[in-house]
Structure 1
Amino acid sequence: MSTTSFDKFQKRKLISSYFSVTLSIALILFLLGTLAFVVINSQNLVNHIKENLVVNVYLSAAAKETEINQFQKTLAMKEYTKSVTYVSKEEAAEDLMKTLGENFVAYLGDNPLQNSIDLHLKADYVTEEQLADIAIEIKGATFVDEVAYDIPLVSLLNDNIKTISYYMLGGCGFILFISILLINSSIRLSIYSKRFIIKTMQMVGATKRFIRRPFIFNNIKLGMIGAVIAIAALTACMSFLDTKYPTIKLLSNVPMVTAIFGGIFIFGILISWLSTFFATSRYLNLRTDDLYY
């Protein structure tokens, strides 16, 4: 093989090595980014379910309109309140008639329902203990007859959320560990092909820091390119999902998207730097005879 052909072969081999490392990093970072979106949006879904739980505050017939308005404003200002809606007994009767499909008021001759306030709480306050405390506080008003909410549903919801959270945490840890191993293996393989160059530079007097520097800088650049590719692919996928399912609005949450994309970029740089550092250190510390095995 001529010198020119050998140089071309080496160049193709080098490009192939860079391409495989970059592609491996991009694919793994894309997977991690997707996982981050799933985890964060699953929490948003849980919060949405919790905040749709209704606490019904039933008011006595003797309650005056001014008292109800003032009470509603007081509730709206509480730290645990998401939203407050007043429901008159006439509105409640209309809703119930639509559900039942018959006019029960005409049958009974009177509307037995009460005026009420539908209270939606912030997700952090939807626990059995805090709901009980809130109910006691609301019952302190003299014109409140009853505070009702679905206690079994709250208990079941929180228990299931805890179980799912543990499984998701374990799954995330496992996938992160596998991802680190795969990126590390790809970079180590690319360094392995240059082990004789590393040892030759060391034998002619180059310091370990001097030898490591170009490898680290080069693989950090590959990590950055891989991160950019992963971010571009994630943006395209999220944009497609937002277009097909407008209600999910994945890209509309700018702080979340920025945090995930920033984390992908930083992780790509960090894992590339660490993997290259330890891979080059391994071959720098090997004896020349050991390089053949």
Structure 2
Amino acid sequence: MAKKKKIGSYPNTMIIISLTAALFLIGFCAMLVIQSKKLVSIIRENIDVSVFVDKSLSEAGRDSILMEVRQKPYVQPLGDSTDITFVSKEQAAKDFMEGTKEDFTAFLGENPLRDSYRVKVKEDYFEESRLKAIQQDLEKINGVYEVVYQENLADAINKNITKLYIVLASFALVMLIIIVLLINNTIKLAIYSQRFLIRSMQLVGATNGFIQRPFLMRGATQGVVSALLASFFLIILEQIAVRNVEGMAQLQEYEKLAVVLVMLVLLGILIGMVSTTQSLHRYLKMSLDDLY
């Protein structure tokens, strides 16, 4: 005697595979957004403002400038990272000659460079207008000759990252729409194969809520299983990237990754239950003639 199929058991594999693939792509987009945001944060933290001091300034004068700069609200606090780095004119000349492979001091007869401080600015101030204001504020300090930063870099980075977020968000939205349509059609086929069973349950007096309950539970279970599978593949992909791509480990934010995985589970449950509800609603109100 052939084993009887359970309600909705036939398309389980198809639904789970489809939903897993779709949730994986959405999770992948979310991970890209998180990691790109972390990368931008690292870039911002490593861009500094150079404060050049007067050549005639004494060591005490340089220390006075250091203390005054350190009290500015836009300077990264100690412990977060090295907030201010002193670069002597000798070190600056050495770095320049290593980069260009030319000894300009032999040609000029002296070192024209100045002592300077490299000041790291808080990420919140990483905007062209704010950096310009910081430049003007630092140049007011007595003993400061000039303040230099990479102009237009902040705006260029901010514009590019905004474009990236828009592209990824659009892709994720399109994928979400495709998922809903795909899963909805697949679940419709599953419910269609059970339409006579649904009518039989109605004929023996079963309420709509009683009929819907096992289907909704099945839809929720499919969503959870799909989300867990998608999360598993995402974690595997992330670990492969961390082990094979240099510097990838610095971009990992495991707390945010955990939030993404939880959201995938909730999204999987939501899609499974909503699609099942929509498909069931049609057959619960369908006449007997229409069932054929």
Unaligned residue ranges in structure 2 (runs of 5+): 77-82
Residue 249 and residue 183 in structure 1: after superposition, are their counterparts in 2 closer, same or farther (change >3 A)? farther
Matching residue of 1:52: 46
Say which SS state the counterpart of residue 141 (structure 1) adopts. Answer: coil
Structure of higher RCO (CA pairs closer than 8 Å, 6+ residues apart) = 2
Q: How many residues align?
A: 286
Deviates most, 155-164 or 214-223 = 155-164
1:63 aligns with 2:33: no
Q: Which has the higher helix share?
A: 1
Question: 2:230 corresponds to which residue?
Answer: 230
Correspondence list, 1:82-231, <5 A: 82=76, 83-231=83-231
C-alpha distance in structure 2 between counterparts of 1:140 and 1:201, whole Å: 84
Deviations, residues 76-102 of structure 1 (Å, cap 9, x unaligned)? 565533432211111101001111212
Correspondence for 1:270: 270
The answer on whether the counterparts of 2:30 and 2:260 sit within 8 Å (CA) in structure 1 is: yes
Residue 40 (structure 2) pairs with residue 40 (structure 1)? no
1:21 and 2:15 correspond: yes
1-side partners of 2:41 and 2:251: how far apart?
18
TM-score by structure 2 length? Answer: 0.88
| CA positional deviation for 1:114 | 0.7
Whether 1:31 and 2:22 are equivalent positions in the alignment is no
TM-score, normalised to structure 1, is: 0.88
Cα 1:256–1:189 change in 2 (3 A) is same
Deviation per residue, 1:89-124 (Å, 9 max, x gap): 111010011112122123222111011112233333
Give the conservation status (yes or no) of the 8 Å contact 2:35–2:252.
no
Q: In 2, are the aligned partners of 1:242 and 1:251 still within 8 Å (CA)?
A: no
- In structure 2, the CA distance between the partners of 1:222 and 1:108, relative to structure 1 (3 Å rule), is same
Q: Per-residue CA shift, 1:206-244, capped at 9, x if unaligned? A: 111111111111221121111111111111111111111
CA distance in 2, matches of 1:78, 1:211: 67
Cα 1:199–1:153 shift into 2, 3 Å? same
Tell me which of 74, 84, 94 is aligned to 1:80: 74
Alpha-carbon separation, structure 2, partners of 1:22 and 1:149? 53
How far apart are residue 185 of structure 1 and its match? Answer: 2.5
More displaced 10-residue stretch of structure 1: 69-78 or 121-130: 69-78
Where 1:119 maps in the other structure, the secondary structure is: strand
Please list every run of 5 or more consecutive structure 1 residues that lacks an aligned counterpart in the other structure. none
| 1:34-91 CA distance string (max 9 Å, x none) | 1111122122223333333332111112334344345435545655334322111111
Contact 2:20 / 2:230 at 8 angstroms: preserved in 1? yes
Where 2:248 maps in the other structure, the secondary structure is coil
* Counterpart amino acid of residue 17 in structure 1: P
Most deviating of 244-253 and 52-61: 244-253
Distance in 2 between the 1:250 and 1:198 partners?
Answer: 54
Identity %: 34
Distance 1:143 1:106 in 2: 28
- Counterparts of 1:279 and 1:230, CA distance in 2: 25
Contact kept? 2:33, 2:165, Cα under 8 Å:
no
Q: Note if contact 1:238-1:250 (Cα within 8 Å) is conserved in structure 2.
A: no
Deviations, residues 251-272 of structure 1 (Å, cap 9, x unaligned): 8422121111111111111211
More displaced stretch, 263-272 vs 72-81:
72-81
